[in-house]
């Protein structure tokens, strides 16, 4: 069975509209470039109880999940604490994360031209960004070395936690994919073939769609109705999608069924 990939996008600023989410489209792109597919995505605000529920479900699955946002150390960041609660483990200062953060703090002090003092309140606070659920593994951050982390759930699900900043999150996600999931590359390669159908409504097409899915269980049949398309006007785009080898025979059967119904057909579309 193919491994499923999921995405959790955390942040009140996304749900309120203060910021537009950029992660969904980019993660789809990063997976697609490696022959993988995103199976699901969830948006959740900076609400610890809601986060615990979402993370607990993901940990209980067998999915590979990326979570973006909320891993900082300010009062509105709850992801690290929610992850620990979802797993039922304590939060601990990861020793490698501590070393990386201290190295970064020394750099900041040098840039500011002041002596490095680990006891300064802001430096002690920065160490909180290395406090992760017990047993977490680090994800390197090429932007400023403040790491993300990965945790495994009791149900087989793994969640990789990265910051909400795209400049940090996207390279970190690529590192995770290329380091841990290279063996899966290509498992999600799908194709899609469809045709424009004029003069039909979905209710008329449904029996044919059900028959195709029953006869070709490896594909999914889809319909996309349109009432005001600038080129084709009112129509239904009807097609099949699935593994590359499974699509052609199912699509041929779909076309045969449409022609037997005497429906006028327009352009055909292929998406790989």
Question: How many other β-carbons are positioned within 10 Å of the β-carbon of residue 184?
Answer: 16
DSSP state of 144: T
Show the domains of the chain with their CATH numbers.
Answer: 5-184 (3.40.980.10), 190-271 (3.30.70.600)
Residue 84's pLDDT is what? 98
pTM, two decimals, is 0.84
Residue 58's pLDDT is what? 97
Q: What are phi and psi of 184, to 5 degrees?
A: -90, -10
Collapse the DSSP code of 97 into the 3-class scheme (helix H, G, I; strand E, B; otherwise coil) and give the result: helix
Chain-centroid distance of CA 114 in Å reads 41
Distance CA 71, CA 80 (A): 6
The whole-number mean pLDDT for each consecutive block of 10 residues of the chain, a chain of 272 residues, reads: 92 94 97 94 96 97 96 94 98 96 90 87 89 97 95 95 97 98 89 92 93 95 88 89 93 96 92 80
């Amino acid at each position: 069975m193919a491994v499923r990939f999921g995405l959790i996008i955390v942040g009140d600023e996304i749900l309120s509209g203060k910021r537009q989410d950029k992660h969904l489209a980019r993660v789809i792109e990063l997976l697609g470039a490696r022959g993988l597919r995103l199976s699901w995505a969830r948006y959740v605000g900076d609400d610890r109880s809601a986060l615990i529920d979402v993370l607990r479900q993901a940990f209980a699955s067998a999915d590979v999940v990326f979570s973006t946002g909320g891993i900082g150390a300010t009062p509105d960041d709850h992801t690290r604490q929610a992850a620990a609660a979802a797993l039922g483990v304590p939060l601990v200062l990861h020793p490698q994360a501590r070393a990386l953060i201290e190295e970064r703090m020394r750099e900041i002090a040098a840039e500011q031209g002041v002596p490095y003092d680990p006891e300064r309140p802001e430096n002690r606070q920065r160490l909180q960004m290395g406090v992760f659920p017990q047993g977490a593994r680090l994800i390197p951050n090429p932007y400023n070395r403040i790491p993300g982390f990965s945790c495994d759930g009791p149900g087989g699900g793994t969640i990789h936690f990265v910051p909400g900043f795209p400049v940090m999150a996207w390279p970190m996600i690529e590192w995770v994919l290329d380091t841990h999931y290279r063996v899966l590359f290509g498992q999600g390669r799908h194709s899609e073939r469809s045709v424009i159908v004029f003069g039909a409504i979905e209710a008329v097409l449904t029996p044919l769609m059900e028959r195709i899915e029953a006869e070709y269980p490896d594909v999914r049949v889809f319909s996309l109705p349109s009432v005001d398309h600038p080129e084709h006007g009112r129509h239904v785009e009807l097609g099949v999608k699935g593994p590359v080898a499974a699509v052609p025979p199912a699509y041929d059967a779909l076309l045969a069924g449409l022609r037997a119904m005497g429906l006028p057909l327009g352009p055909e579309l292929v998406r790989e």
